[in-house]
Homo-oligomer: A and B are copies of this chain.
């Protein structure tokens, strides 16, 4: 393997990524927000903020709270809606040579289907399906907490689109590997995990929740051990690639997730704290491979000895 540069490429089905580092939905805007800090073209992929059928103005403020080594967010999935997204954002996103993954969300099975169909006409790289949202027709139970619903959403999205489909799993479940298996059975090309853990913070002076939405999603370094455990459990259960997410902020974190079985990883909250994080981690990973004389990042994937 000589003194050449290590091979950072990984594959999710037919999709070849320049490297396993993506940015997580909702923490990297539409890419442009970070153009001053990061060479976007170097990223494995950008996952854009979740898009829904109709525009959403999101939750009232306050929307974020700092917690011990983490944060709570209840943004409320603010986004311009699929039509405005297609006209305003897609042309801009096309300029980047990295993978473009569009994260979608819905209130109902039909909304997911519609979104998949509309995006199938574009030349985005892949679709990531956020199933942490409540299913309004099922009394607000989150799609991602019921294996049958996970299967149903996966199927419908699968049928409407030829793009690689990534099902993004919720960690607020007893058995996340069962949800991953349902996604696999439904035809997903990959699963990504974890989305945020449901949490809360209280303003003791006002005696009110700190978030207007009362509860929000916990992310950041605090949740990394939970995310890593779930990625490991899921990687043992399914054959499709696993994309690891949750509290990743250092090269060591990236390597841990790859060893646990992730084919790629996403950087979330770390982008907010350090806008150069994603690019620094690509460089850091390359250096790590060089220093440890590892020819290809693929050698790390699933490399855990147990």
Contact = CB atoms under 8 A, between A and B. Distances in A.
Interface of A: 67-70, 72, 145, 172-174, 197-202, 204, 206-209, 214-215, 218, 220-226, 228-229, 232, 247, 252, 255-256, 259-260, 303-306
B260 A200 contact: yes
A70 B67 contact: no
A232 B204 CA distance: 14
B229 A68 contact: no
The 4 closest A-B pairs by CB, nearest first: A199-B225, A69-B69, A68-B221, A222-B222
Given A68-B221, A202-B259, A204-B255, 13 more contacts: A68-B70, A199-B228, A200-B260, A201-B228, A202-B255, A202-B304, A204-B256, A204-B259, A207-B259, A207-B303, A208-B305, A208-B306, A218-B225
Give this chain's copy count. 2
Contact of A247 (B68, B206, B228, B252): B68
A206 B232 CA distance: 17
A37 to B, nearest CB: 23
Contact of A202 (B67, B198, B204, B260): B260
